[in-house]
């Protein structure tokens, strides 16, 4: 049973990642519809062509990732629609409709886990969920932001964003927070769109930076001992020694009680004598540890009065 659960997790990957790929698949299929419906709009065709090329790279990387991490590469390729993932990631418009098979994974995820489990997973796995959400938002802003800024600025007086390539370039430069300034909006609506693109870009790159920092630096920072927690002064060292001695005494007392209880549970006489000797020895050690703790406390008090 455990092996089956591990296999399902390996095939379906991270929940946020699967939803990210599923939404991109839906958007790419809608773009294919737009390509055939608006064939006469050259600017729209250029923007959709760029987006489809981006989707092809993402889906090709997804196929390689799944092949490398699948429990069985052959099973994924032939029975898990891996062949459809590969063909759909190739730069051939006729094959992009095969991206619909990627939606089956999202349906399978919803069916196997349930909406409540998926929601709880997304809430608790906030790092991956936030990163995937912002990346998805970045894709939407790149496509629809370019279309919107071109529609608003394309025919404005004194505009310098007048073509699809200008709109794409402005959106990419703005969302990456580079801001060359060679392309800029001249209308109030265009400036409002630009402000939204800037906010999304700052969120994406800020979250991505924090994600990488947590990924590479988090475990090392947690493993390193803190000098403030450990303490370096003589009083802190003495207090630590006192706590250690007291803890040792408590542990010895606990073991002594456990041994005594075990002795009374009904063992043979030889074992009982052996347990009694151990018990006596532990009681002696406990008394010594208590004396040591009292002496250390007295020394600390004397040192404090001397100061």
CA 209 to chain centre: 12
CB neighbours of residue 197 within 10 Å: 25
pLDDT at 121 (0 to 100): 78
The yes-or-no verdict on residue 230 having pLDDT over 50 is: no
Is the distance from CB of 207 to CB of 134 less than 8 angstroms? Answer: yes
Q: What is the mean pLDDT of the chain?
A: 76
CA angle 116, 134, 132 (to 5 degrees): 50
What is the mean predicted confidence (pLDDT) over 191-213?
86
Is the distance from CB of 162 to CB of 151 less than 8 angstroms? Answer: no
> What whole-number percentage of the chain has pLDDT above 90?
17
Q: Given pLDDT bands bounded at 50, 70 and 90, which one contains residue 170? A: very high
- Report the C-alpha gap between 194 and 290 in whole angstroms: 71
- Report the C-alpha gap between 223 and 60 in whole angstroms: 37
- Report the C-alpha gap between 127 and 133 in whole angstroms: 10
Quick one: DSSP state of residue 106?
Answer: H
Element (H, E) at 227: helix 227-230
Higher pLDDT, 106 or 71: 71
pLDDT at 272 (0 to 100): 54
The yes-or-no verdict on residue 239 having pLDDT over 70 is: no
- Report the C-alpha gap between 289 and 246 in whole angstroms: 7
What letters, b where the CB count within 10 A reaches 16 and e where it falls short, cover 123-142? eeeeebbbbbbbbbebbebb
pTM of the model: 0.62
The CATH-assigned architecture of domain 126-224 is Orthogonal Bundle (1.10)
Higher pLDDT, 301 or 223: 301
Tell me the per-residue pLDDT of 261-281, one tens digit each, with 9 for 90 and over. Answer: 444 444 455 555 566 777 777
Helix (H, G, I), strand (E, B) or coil at 59: helix
The yes-or-no verdict on residue 241 having pLDDT over 50 is: no
pLDDT at 12 (0 to 100): 63
Residues listed for the chain: 307
Q: Given pLDDT bands bounded at 50, 70 and 90, which one contains residue 306? A: low
- Nearest Cα neighbor of 47 from 62, 29, 34 is 34
pLDDT at 150 (0 to 100): 92
Tell me the per-residue pLDDT of 14-50, one tens digit each, with 9 for 90 and over. Answer: 788 888 888 898 898 898 888 888 888 888 899 999 9
Give residue limits of the domains in the chain: 1-124, 126-224, 231-306
Tell me the per-residue pLDDT of 72-109, one tens digit each, with 9 for 90 and over. Answer: 888 888 887 788 888 888 877 777 778 888 777 777 77
């Amino acid at each position: 049973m455990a092996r089956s659960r591990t296999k399902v997790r390996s095939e379906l990957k991270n929940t946020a990642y699967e939803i990210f790929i599923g939404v991109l698949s839906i958007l790419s299929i809608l773009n294919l519809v737009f390509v055939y419906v608006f064939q006469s709009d050259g600017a729209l065709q250029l923007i959709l062509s760029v987006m489809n090329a981006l989707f092809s790279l993402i889906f090709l990387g997804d196929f390689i990732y799944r092949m490398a991490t699948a429990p069985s590469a052959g099973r994924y390729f032939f029975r898990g629609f891996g062949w459809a993932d590969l063909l759909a990631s190739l730069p051939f418009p006729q094959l992009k409709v095969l991206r619909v098979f990627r939606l089956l994974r999202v349906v399978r995820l919803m069916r196997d886990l349930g909406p409540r489990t998926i929601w709880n997973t997304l809430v608790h796995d906030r790092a991956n969920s936030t990163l995937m959400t912002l990346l998805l938002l970045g894709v939407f802003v790149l496509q629809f932001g370019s279309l919107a800024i071109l529609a608003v600025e394309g025919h404005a007086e004194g505009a310098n964003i007048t073509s699809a390539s200008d709109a794409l370039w402005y959106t990419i430069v703005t969302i990456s927070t580079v801001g060359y300034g060679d392309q800029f909006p001249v209308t109030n609506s265009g400036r409002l769109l630009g402000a939204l693109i800037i906010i999304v870009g700052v969120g994406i790159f800020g979250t991505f930076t924090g994600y990488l920092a947590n990924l590479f630096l988090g475990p090392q920072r947690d493993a390193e001992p803190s000098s403030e927690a450990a303490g370096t002064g003589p009083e802190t060292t003495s207090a630590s020694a006192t706590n250690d001695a007291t803890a040792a005494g408590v542990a010895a007392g606990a073991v002594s009680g456990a041994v005594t209880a075990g002795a009374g549970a009904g063992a043979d006489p030889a074992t009982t004598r052996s347990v009694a000797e151990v018990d006596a020895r532990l009681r002696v050690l406990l008394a010594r540890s208590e004396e040591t703790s009292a002496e250390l406390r007295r020394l600390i008090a004397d040192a404090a009065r001397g100061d």
